[in-house]
Amino acid sequence: AQTVTQSQPEMSVQEAETVTLSCTYDTSESDYYLFWYKQPPSRQMILVIRQEAYKQQNATENRFSVNFQKAAKSFSLKISDSQLGDAAMYFCAYRKASGYSTLTFGKGTMLLVSP
Amino acid sequence: ETGVTQSPTHLIKTRGQQVTLRCSSQSGHNTVSWYQQALGQGPQFIFQYYREEENGRGNFPPRFSGLQFPNYSSELNVNALELDDSALYLCASSQGRFSGANVLTFGAGSRLTVL
């Protein structure tokens, strides 16, 4: 069974600084997708970034980028130029690429952003 | 394009009662998944419906049941409520049944408190 581990319950960053959130996972599959979701106090899960395991190039979305290390089964999220609106719970998630599959989430990391 | 809407947003029930939660999927989406998010935890998969049929289920007892309607909206029913059922229930819709690439669109959830 797949597992997703986020070892940082809480992280803090100052506005305009850079922060990295860690995620490791375990799977026997060779093709899969990894995701970072943001859950603000409004509770709605918002997709931040997605990475396919077969793509060696790390995904980027504006200020958000990932460091995907397939052999190490590591998938960290880097937020550059942090903004107050980035404050939220961040969840790392895994999903098999083909066949029946559901999202498996980690426990989340609370990101605090201070002025 | 409308997103995923859930109702009610909050509700309080007592142990032993039954509850129905509702979800309207995003326009064009034919698959609905339900997740339970306990306090301080990541979401856990309950089940998934594709074109009105359940086609996947997580580790939840039979007192958790669901329906999907011809317009692809969905209901989650929980019978014989227990204190541990207190959680945020998230609905997510997507297009297509089997593809890890499918992006799930989440609703803001229904917060259930069981007393």
Predicted pLDDT of residue B21: 98
For A107, the token pair is 């426990």
Q: What is the pLDDT of residue B46?
A: 96
Q: If you ran DSSP here, which 8-state letter would residue B1 be given?
A: -
Distance from CA of B43 to the nearest CA of A (A): 6
Predicted pLDDT of residue B1: 57
What six digits make up the tokens of A19? 């922060």
What pLDDT does A1 receive?
A: 74
Percent of chain A with pLDDT over 90: 83
Identify the helix (H) or strand (E) that includes residue A92. Answer: strand A88-96
Distance, CA of B105 to chain centre = 12
Amino acid letter, residue B93:
S
pLDDT of residue B27: 87
- Ramachandran sector of residue B109 (left: φ over 0; alpha: ψ -120 to 50; beta: rest): left
Q: What is the pLDDT of residue B51?
A: 87
Instruction: Estimate to the nearest angstrom the gap between the alpha carbon of B19 and the chain centroid.
Output: 12
Q: For the segment A21-49, what is each residue's pLDDT rounded down to a tens digit?
A: 999 999 998 889 999 999 998 889 999 99
Confidence band for B105, pLDDT divided at 50, 70 and 90: very high
pLDDT at A83 over 80: yes
Q: Mean pLDDT score of chain B, rounded to an integer?
A: 92
Residue A54 has pLDDT above 80, yes or no: yes
Interface contact A33, partner B, CB < 8 A: yes
**Residue of chain A whose alpha carbon sits nearest to that of B39:** A107
Q: Which residues of A touch B43 (CB under 8 A)?
A: 45, 91, 103, 105
| Residue B13, beta-bridge partner list | B114
The 3-class SS string of chain B reads: CCCCEEECCEEEECCCCCEEEEEECCCCCCEEEEEEECCCCCCEEEEEEECCEEEEECCCCCCEEEEECCCCCEEEEECCCCHHHCEEEEEEEECCCCCCCCCCEECCCEEEEEC
CB-based contact (8 Å) between A44 and chain B?
A: yes
- pLDDT over 90 percentage in chain B: 75
| Mean pLDDT confidence for B2-21 | 95
Q: Give the closest of A44, A99, A101 to B107, CB-based.
A: A44
Rg of chain B on CA atoms, in Å: 13
Q: Are A34 and A50 in contact (CB under 8 A)?
A: yes
Return d(Cα A46, Cα B108) in angstroms, integer: 10
- At B35, is the secondary structure helix, strand, or coil? strand
Q: Is the pLDDT of residue B98 over 70?
A: no
Is pLDDT of B93 > 60?
yes
* A39 contacts A91 by C-beta, under 8 angstroms: yes
What residues of B are in contact with residue A100 (Cβ under 8 Å)?
55-56, 97-98
Cβ pairs A/B, distance under 8 A: 64
Q: What mean pLDDT comes out for the span B37-47?
A: 94
Chain A 56-115, residues with CB within 8 Å of chain B CB atoms? 91, 93, 95-108
